[in-house]
A and B are shown apart, each in its own frame.
Chain A
Amino acid sequence: MKFQAHSNLYLIVAAFFALSCGNEQQSENGGALMGSNAAQKVYVQPGEHDEFYAFFSGGFSGQISAYGLPSGRLLKVIPVFSQDAEKGYGYNEETKPMLQTSFGFVPWDDAHHPELSQTDGVPDGRWIFINGNNTPRIARIDLKTFETAEIIEIPNSGGNHSSPFITANSEYVVAGTRFSVPIPNEDLPIDSYKENFKGSLSFISVEEESGDMEVAFQVLVPGYDYDLAHAGKGKSHGWVFFTTYNVEKAHTLKEINASQRDKDFIAAVNWKKAEEYLAQGKAKDMPASYFNNSYSDRTHMATSEERSGVKVLIPEECPGMVYFLPTPKSPHGVDVDPTGEYIVGNGKLSSDMSVHSFTKMMQAVDNEDYDTIISGIPVLNYESVLDGIVPQPGLGPLHTEFDGKEEIAYTTFFISSEIVKWKLDNKEILDRVPCYYSVGHLMIPGGDSQEPFGKYMVALNKITKDRYLPTGPELAHSAQLYDISGDKMELLLDFPTIGEPHYAQAIPADLVKPQSVRTFKLEENEHPHATKKESEARVTRDGNEVHIYMTSIRSHFAPDNIEGIRVGDQVYFHLTNLEQDWDVPHGLSVMGANNAELLVMPGQTETLLWEPKKAGVFPFYCTDFCSALHQEMQGYVRVSAANQDVALKWRLGEEEGS
């Protein structure tokens, strides 16, 4: 008994140490939250819905992932710029055209900045846009279907990074070149950078009803790196601001050579003025070739169209269209507060942060208060446009967002790995919280709009290290959710993400949820190879091209036995899902197919191209566990040698066709 009592005591002591050590470690990692109700704040009861949809860019995954906030639950990965075998995106015949470019089929990109469409400066829940940085493109995703509806290639561009920031009524999404290139691109020595390389700032118009994008015009600018952008709002509506770095015009060892000058610029572009010049016929027609790909929910197909030529405006010929605001030092984000007055330049190598005033900028413009003029672009006097500096707020400021409260701003600091809350008017620092680790963008729902929804803030971090169970050398990027409703920012949740989210945007669920499509109407299906009734299922041959008009409904394909296919045939499985019930997709996979599965939504038609390589009998089956008899949802294709003359025939139960 005595021994047992002792051992119990040891256990209690050990437990006490374990607990106290645990607490200590937790508070170091920002997890202690003693006396807080963080868990309650992020707890969304099973079966309940989140308050916000959050759209995270996938970075090098090329996609967008939709999360619920505050729970941090992953809702969907939306394929955008990268092939997605899971959904057949970029593999099936219908979506391959989405990834066509002037370079041919480009099945991947680096997607950075999701940007919700806006009406009157407020996210409206219609579409979300995102840039492809590598092969310059912008995509538009329809938030009724959560599918990519359009992709447009940006001509005369290299590295589409300062994109697709949107104007207050979705008039334009913009696209600035991060990597200047010869425009038009041609074979030139790289060390002729200073003479020959140029930047372009593209304005992509968005049609009000359909959302169709078009390259309206480009502004040709000096060969700097155009890093990020934001449109003016309220009083500064009509302007778009782009940050630049590398005004040194270095072309090699940029980490040193592009970091020499004390100040780079924020380029302020007056797009209303540009529209005037365009109307006056001041634009030059420049040859260019680029693709515009659109997906239709009626035909369930994408079409790819080549466009040629762009309208280019040259600042020297268009006075008053572009100004440079000197800004220390290699500024990354440029963020405009909800009133449109403050233009925050996040000088990433600067010890202080510069905040410009739109009012002062306009005074300097009126007074022609110029330091110099570069390629026809007046450089406004720094002191004249500066509202003030935030002295030594942290190290490596990158991005600022707003929560809609009076004069409040939140800025990320990459190097000191923190977010700082400060006052726009007196530049006073109010609070700071650590991030895990090295935060890049931050996101507040509606945080770059005229009327932020506020309440939460997400840190999108670049470095993960020890935050989660280790997964070998490659780790998921981490995000942290903070409650910003009070005076102090409070860490609530830490969750891993897909790819490398750069920026994200969030919108109240109520603005998106009611319009979410459940099924596509079969009767409205205009796909040229749709089969709307099981009785119309058939197989046709035209030379070595075989078309299988197939249907799926719980729990069978029609037909499910197919004979008369030959090695060397191109076999198109046109599968129409006859279901008209919510959440009943059917998949189709064929043994040995060199692409991916199909995943067909109710009422939709998709096509799998199969080129059988050898004779034999090959099974196909439904990949989406659709019903109680899903395992029985299968069939066979018989493939004969190329020289065999086996008659084409097909069967479903008693029904036969030939």
Chain B
Amino acid sequence: MKTGKSRILFLFGALILLLVFAFPLWSITLYAPQYPDGITMYIWVNKISGSTESVIQNINILNHYIGMKYIEPDTIPELRYFPYVVIGMTVAGIVIAIVNNKWGYLGWAVVLVILGALGIYDFYLWTYDYGHNLDPTAPIKIPGMVYQPPIFGQKMLLNFDARSYPHWGSFFLGLSVLTGIAAFVLKTKNR
């Protein structure tokens, strides 16, 4: 059962990918004098949630002063089809594990990296859109000011100190990639 190890490892990687349904991929926390505890928005593969039930409403209320579009999870198509992509990758992973092909392992991991990168780029496009396409009738208009939150790190947006970092979901996604590669390496060595 020498080859079993890499197969089990690969299968494990394909399955922990499903943990992106249990944990958010990313978090954006806003601190301001009026929000000493901060308000946190969590971005999941299939939804947007917050540190309290009403976070999206509360962020939208704040954003309307600068003319930012309302964040309405129902209008973000990615939240509808990303879950299928994840499930598809897990299913593909299981099939590859059955076939037990080392190039399949590597290929799967590479596809996952590409998908992850596309996801982050997509996230960037959304934040760019929210931050730049502002309502011209907004009560607060500051020439030259854009409100795109950072993808990674910290940035001041008027009175808000915005901090954006990957969350556990991204960690598990990364772990899936690494186990895929590890399975490939293990299988290659065992030959």
A residues adjacent to B (C-beta < 8 A): 519, 521, 553-554, 579-581, 627-629, 632
A629 to B139, CA, bound (A): 8
Q: Do A554 and B140 have beta carbons less than 8 Å apart?
A: no
Instruction: Give the chain A neighbours of B57 by CB distance below 8 A.
Output: 580-581
A579 to B140, CA, bound (A): 21
Q: Do B65 and A629 have beta carbons less than 8 Å apart?
A: yes
Q: Do B61 and A554 have beta carbons less than 8 Å apart?
A: yes
Instruction: Give the chain A neighbours of B188 by CB distance below 8 A.
Output: none
| Interface assignment of B53: CB less than 8 Å from any CB of chain A | yes
Q: Do A628 and B65 have beta carbons less than 8 Å apart?
A: yes
Closest Cβ–Cβ distance, residue B37 to chain A (whole Å): 9
| Interface assignment of B101: CB less than 8 Å from any CB of chain A | no
A283 to B146, CA, bound (A): 77
Q: Which residue of chain A is the closest to B39 with respect to CB atoms?
A: A581
Q: What secondary structure prevails in chain A residues at the interface with B?
A: loop
| Interface assignment of B54: CB less than 8 Å from any CB of chain A | yes
Closest Cβ–Cβ distance, residue B118 to chain A (whole Å): 34
| Interface assignment of B3: CB less than 8 Å from any CB of chain A | no
Interface residues of B in 6-61 (CB under 8 A from A): 53-54, 57-58, 61
- Beyond contacts A580-B58, A632-B139: 4 other A-B pairs, Cβ-Cβ < 8 A, are A521-B53, A553-B61, A580-B53, A581-B58
Closest Cβ–Cβ distance, residue A585 to chain B (whole Å): 14
A-B contact list, 20 entries, CB within 8 Å? A519-B54, A521-B53, A553-B61, A554-B61, A579-B61, A580-B53, A580-B54, A580-B57, A580-B58, A581-B54, A581-B57, A581-B58, A581-B61, A627-B65, A628-B65, A628-B139, A628-B140, A629-B65, A629-B139, A632-B139
A581 to B140, CA, bound (A): 21
Closest Cβ–Cβ distance, residue B189 to chain A (whole Å): 55
Q: Which residue of chain A is the closest to B64 with respect to CB atoms?
A: A554
A629 to B62, CA, bound (A): 11
Closest Cβ–Cβ distance, residue A641 to chain B (whole Å): 37
User: A581, A628, A629 — which one has the most chain B CB atoms within 10 A of its CB?
Assistant: A581
Kindly list the 6 A-B residue pairs having the minimum CB-CB distance in the complex, ordered from nearest. Answer: A580-B54, A581-B58, A554-B61, A580-B57, A629-B139, A628-B65
Instruction: Give the chain A neighbours of B58 by CB distance below 8 A.
Output: 580-581
A554 to B61, CA, bound (A): 7
A249 to B61, CA, bound (A): 67
Instruction: Give the chain B neighbours of A579 by CB distance below 8 A.
Output: 61
1/0 per residue B73-117: CB within 8 Å of A? 000000000000000000000000000000000000000000000
Instruction: Give the chain A neighbours of B61 by CB distance below 8 A.
Output: 553-554, 579, 581
Closest Cβ–Cβ distance, residue A559 to chain B (whole Å): 18
Instruction: Give the chain A neighbours of B65 by CB distance below 8 A.
Output: 627-629
Instruction: Give the chain A neighbours of B140 by CB distance below 8 A.
Output: 628
Instruction: Give the chain B neighbours of A629 by CB distance below 8 A.
Output: 65, 139
Q: Which residue of chain A is the closest to B139 with respect to CB atoms?
A: A629
A580 to B39, CA, bound (A): 13
Q: Which residue of chain A is the closest to B59 with respect to CB atoms?
A: A581
User: B53, B54, B57, B65 — which one has the most chain A CB atoms within 10 A of its CB?
Assistant: B54
Instruction: Give the chain A neighbours of B53 by CB distance below 8 A.
Output: 521, 580
Q: Which residue of chain B is the closest to A581 with respect to CB atoms?
A: B58
Closest Cβ–Cβ distance, residue B12 to chain A (whole Å): 41
Closest Cβ–Cβ distance, residue B30 to chain A (whole Å): 12
Closest Cβ–Cβ distance, residue B129 to chain A (whole Å): 23
Q: Which residue of chain B is the closest to A632 with respect to CB atoms?
A: B139
A554 to B54, CA, bound (A): 14
Closest Cβ–Cβ distance, residue B62 to chain A (whole Å): 8
Q: Which residue of chain B is the closest to A554 with respect to CB atoms?
A: B61
Q: Which residue of chain B is the closest to A578 with respect to CB atoms?
A: B57
Instruction: Give the chain B neighbours of A627 by CB distance below 8 A.
Output: 65
Instruction: Give the chain B neighbours of A553 by CB distance below 8 A.
Output: 61
Closest Cβ–Cβ distance, residue A583 to chain B (whole Å): 9
A330 to B58, CA, bound (A): 60
A519 to B52, CA, bound (A): 11
Instruction: Give the chain B neighbours of A628 by CB distance below 8 A.
Output: 65, 139-140
A629 to B66, CA, bound (A): 12
Interface residues of B in 134-187 (CB under 8 A from A): 139-140
Closest Cβ–Cβ distance, residue B65 to chain A (whole Å): 6
A632 to B140, CA, bound (A): 13
Closest Cβ–Cβ distance, residue A261 to chain B (whole Å): 61
A636 to B11, CA, bound (A): 67
A553 to B65, CA, bound (A): 12
Q: Which residue of chain A is the closest to B65 with respect to CB atoms?
A: A628
Instruction: Give the chain B neighbours of A519 by CB distance below 8 A.
Output: 54
Instruction: Give the chain B neighbours of A521 by CB distance below 8 A.
Output: 53
A632 to B54, CA, bound (A): 24
Q: Which residue of chain A is the closest to B159 with respect to CB atoms?
A: A628
Closest Cβ–Cβ distance, residue A602 to chain B (whole Å): 9
Q: Which residue of chain B is the closest to A628 with respect to CB atoms?
A: B65
Q: Which residue of chain B is the closest to A579 with respect to CB atoms?
A: B61
A629 to B140, CA, bound (A): 10
Q: Which residue of chain B is the closest to A523 with respect to CB atoms?
A: B53
Q: Which residue of chain B is the closest to A602 with respect to CB atoms?
A: B54
Closest Cβ–Cβ distance, residue B67 to chain A (whole Å): 13
User: B53, B61, B65 — which one has the most chain A CB atoms within 10 A of its CB?
Assistant: B61
Q: Which residue of chain B is the closest to A521 with respect to CB atoms?
A: B53
A502 to B57, CA, bound (A): 45
A444 to B140, CA, bound (A): 52
Q: Which residue of chain A is the closest to B37 with respect to CB atoms?
A: A582
Instruction: Give the chain B neighbours of A554 by CB distance below 8 A.
Output: 61
Q: Which residue of chain B is the closest to A583 with respect to CB atoms?
A: B34
Instruction: Give the chain B neighbours of A581 by CB distance below 8 A.
Output: 54, 57-58, 61
Closest Cβ–Cβ distance, residue B149 to chain A (whole Å): 19
Q: Which residue of chain A is the closest to B53 with respect to CB atoms?
A: A580
Instruction: Give the chain A neighbours of B139 by CB distance below 8 A.
Output: 628-629, 632
Instruction: Give the chain A neighbours of B54 by CB distance below 8 A.
Output: 519, 580-581
